[in-house]
Homo-oligomer: A and B are copies of this chain.
Amino acid sequence: MAHAYEFARPALTVDIVVFALDEEDLQVMLIERDLKPFEGQWALPGGFVRVDETLEEAARRELEEETGLKDIYLEQLYTFGDIKRDPRERVVTVTYYALVNLEGHDVQASTDARNAAWFSMNDLPKLAFDHKTILRAAHERLRGKVRYQPIGFELLPEKFTLRQMQHLYEVILDRELDKRNFRKKVLGMEIVKETKEIEKDVAHRAARLYRFDKRRYDKLTKQGFNFEI
């Protein structure tokens, strides 16, 4: 195939920020590097884009190869191109972020023998390359989005309590919310529907389980709103 231009060209990678939620914190998936540079340090999953795959295909391939995660919700975040961000040569990286529900995914599996693990956003190790900057941008995007679009579908189990949902928002926004206001707001937006079920495996005071109203959720996602809590 003819080359459109013959100048030296930057290398192109994808990197993926995978968020999940546990009982305590927002978690992020990291990979321990077994190659130079930054050997032995933790980094975002990612790798080089092949000429015969789209950017999202590259992101999905790398994610599955390095973490075993597949079929998850991915959204393009931003493209980082600082000249010195990779010590080897000029590398531009297209980043994606993903939200997963810990219950639905086996995240231990890693097919290429590298060490993959979840880390709390409040207790991160030193990260390779500019991955701290990328992670911060992804968290910022998530915090921004939560204010004008409903999110959480991907981070919560199919049925959840309003307490779990409030916890999700608290973790993303990194502050405590007023329980009464939160419930009023969420129920007022009509994005969740009461189910007939209550929590299982709790000693007492089992709470009502809710599910997202997918149609209403999609409508509000498109239309936007302002969730000031």
> Chain A interface (Cβ within 8 Å of chain B)?
1-5, 7-12, 48-56, 76, 78-79, 81-83, 86, 88-92, 94, 144, 147-148, 224-226
Contacts and interface: CB of A to CB of B under 8 A. Distances in A.
A227 to B, nearest CB: 9
Contact of A89 (B3, B8, B48, B50): B3
Contacts of A88: 1-4
Identical copies of this chain, number: 2
Contacts of A90: 51-52
Nearest to A2: B88
Given A53-B83, A144-B224, A225-B226, 19 more contacts: A2-B89, A4-B11, A4-B48, A7-B48, A7-B50, A9-B9, A9-B49, A9-B51, A10-B51, A12-B12, A12-B92, A52-B83, A54-B81, A54-B83, A55-B81, A56-B81, A81-B94, A148-B224, A226-B226
A90 B2 CA distance: 10
Nearest to A223: B147
A92 B11 contact: no
Q: Which 3 residue pairs of A and B lie closest in terms of their CB atoms, listed nearest first? A: A226-B226, A55-B81, A4-B88
Nearest to A82: B54
A144 B5 CA distance: 36
Given A76-B79, A224-B144, A4 B86 contact: yes
Given A76-B79, A81-B54, A83-B52, A89 B224 contact: no
Contacts of A7: 48, 50-51
A205 B58 CA distance: 60
A37 to B, nearest CB: 9
A81 B83 CA distance: 21
Contacts of A225: 226
Nearest to A56: B81
A81 B14 CA distance: 12
A51 to B, nearest CB: 5
Nearest to A83: B54
Given A4-B86, A51-B10, A51-B90, A148 B79 contact: no
A89 B5 CA distance: 10
Contact of A148 (B76, B86, B147): B147
